[in-house]
A and B are shown apart, each in its own frame.
Chain A
Amino acid sequence: MRPNVRLELIRKLMQQHNNPSFMKKIIVAILFVLLIVGGGVAYYLYNKGPLDVISSHAVEISAVNLYNSFLSDSAAAGKKYAGKVLEVSGLTEDVSVNQNQETIILLRTSVEGAHINCTLEDKTKVNANKGLIHIKGICSGIGDGDPDLGLPADVYLTRCFVINK
C-alpha cells in the first residue's frame, strides 16, 4: 500500500470515528466477540474433566515421611498434602482388589498396621512383589482409625498410577 493511500484510509476511519452509528456497530461487534469468547471459556471450564494426574507436577516424598508428617501434626500435613498430587515411594505391603474392582496398594509406614493406602486409577494388574514402588496420585488426607480396638489410621491416595523408574 502506497503511503498516501494509507493516509487516505486513516483519514476516512477518523471521520467515521465521529459518526455515532459507526461507533455503535464497533461496540456491538466487540461485545459480541467478548460474549462468544467468554461463553467458550466458561463452557470449557464447566465441562473440564478430572485433573490429569500423570502429567501434573508432583511433590516427591517417601511413604514413611508422609505418614510421619500426618502422625506428628495431621492438620499441618493435611494443609500441605491433602488435595495435592504426590509421588510416594515405598515398600509394597499388600496388593488387593476392592469391591469396585479397583486395585489397592498398601505401602509400609513406620507404624505396624498403618499404610499409605493407594487406589489405582487404571485397572491394570500390578505384581504383588514386596519391593520398592513409586506411586503418583492425589492425597486425600489421613483417615480415621479406631483407638479402642487398636486400629491405626491410613493415609490415602486416590486416582493413582504406578510410575516406572
Chain B
Amino acid sequence: MKKTGSILLLFCFLMAFESKSQNPYTKNGSVSFFSKAVLENIEASSGQVISVINTTTGDIMFSVNIKSFHFKKSLMEEHFNENYMESDKYPKASFKGKINNLSAIIFSTDGSYNTEVTGDLTIHGITNKVTVPGKIVIKAGVPTATASFRVKLADYKISIPRVVKDNIAEVVEVNLSCVYNHKL
C-alpha cells in the first residue's frame, strides 16, 4: 500500500514537472508600429516575431528581423531600412526580460492575466531597460501575449532629418501579439 502511494506521489511529481517544463514559443508572432505625424500616418507590420516563455524562470524573449517589416509604400520601406534603422548594421530588434508576476500566471489553466515584463529592449543597436504592461490569455492550453507600448525614437538614436520631421512622429506606438502554439 505504502509502495503504491509513493509510486503515485512520484507520478504526480513527474506530471507536475512535465507541465512546468512546457515552454511555449512561437516563430510567427505579430508586431506592428504606428507613427502619427502632421503630414502623414505611417504603419508597418511583421508576422515573423520569435518569442519564447520559460515558464519555470519567467524569462521571456521577443525578437524580430527589421527587414521583415513591410510598408504600403516601397520608398518608406527603403528609408526605414537604410536611413533610420540601418538594418544591414542592426538586423534585429529584441526584448529579453522577465515576467514580474510569474507566480500569478497558471499556464496549465485557461484564464486571463494582466502582467508586466521588465527587461532590455534593443532597437537600432541601443539597449534600454524598460517595463511594459501586457496581457497573457490562456485558451485551450495555448497562451496569447499582447502588449502595446510607446517607443521614443531619440532613446534609440534614430534621428529624423529636419526636412521630414512633419512626416514622422517622435514617439511611435508598437503593438505586439503572439500566439504561442508550440511548446518546447
Contacts and interface: CB of A to CB of B under 8 A. Distances in A.
Interface of A: 45-51, 78-79, 82-83, 96, 98-100, 102, 104, 117, 119, 138-146, 148-151, 153-154, 156, 158-159
A146 B28 contact: no
B50 A145 contact: yes
The 8 closest A-B pairs by CB, nearest first: A144-B63, A140-B68, A140-B67, A140-B65, A146-B52, A141-B65, A98-B28, A143-B50
A138 B23 CA distance: 30
A148 B52 CA distance: 11
A44 to B, nearest CB: 10
B1 to A, nearest CB: 40
Interface of B: 23, 25, 27-30, 46-48, 50, 52, 54, 61, 63-65, 67-68, 70-75, 77, 81, 87-88, 91-92, 94, 177, 179, 181, 184
B75 A46 contact: yes
A35 B47 CA distance: 41
A158 B66 CA distance: 12
A104 B28 contact: yes
Contact of A78 (B30, B73, B91): B91
B30 A151 contact: no
Given A83-B81, A143-B48, A143-B50, A99 B74 contact: no
B28 A50 contact: no
Contacts of A117: 27-28, 48
Contacts of B27: 117, 143, 154
A98 B47 contact: yes
Most chain A CB within a 10 A radius of its CB, from B47, B64, B73, B81: B47
A82 B67 CA distance: 7
B68 A156 contact: yes
B23 A156 contact: no
Contact of B67 (A49, A83, A145): A83
Contact of B48 (A146, A148, A156): A156
A119 B28 contact: yes
A49 B88 contact: no
A96 to B, nearest CB: 8
Contacts of B61: 144, 146
A153 B25 CA distance: 12
Contacts of A145: 50
Nearest to B68: A140
Nearest to B29: A99
Contacts of B47: 98-100, 102, 119, 158
Given A83-B87, A144-B92, A151-B25, 8 more contacts: A50-B77, A82-B67, A117-B48, A119-B48, A140-B65, A143-B27, A153-B50, A154-B50
